[in-house]
Amino acid sequence: MAYVITEPCKGTKSTECVNVCPVNCIHPTPDEPDFENVEMLYINPDECIECGACASVCPVNAIFHENDVPEQWKNYIEINAQYYQG
Ligand code: SF4
Ligand code: SF4
Closest-CA residue to 4 (of 51, 57, 49, 63): 63
Task: Give how many domains the chain has, as a whole number.
Answer: 1
The model's pTM: 0.97
Quick: pLDDT tens for 26-70. Answer: 999 999 999 999 999 999 999 999 999 999 999 999 999 999 999
Domain with residue 46: its CATH number is 3.30.70.20
Range of the domain at 15: 3-83
Is residue 29 lining ligand 1, measured as CB closer than 6 Å? no
86 confidence band (pLDDT: 50, 70, 90): low
Who's near 32: CB < 8 A, 6+ residues apart?
none
Give nearest CA residue, ligand 1 atom 6. Answer: 17
Quick: pLDDT tens for 71-81. Answer: 999 999 999 99
Is residue 53 lining ligand 2, measured as CB closer than 6 Å? yes
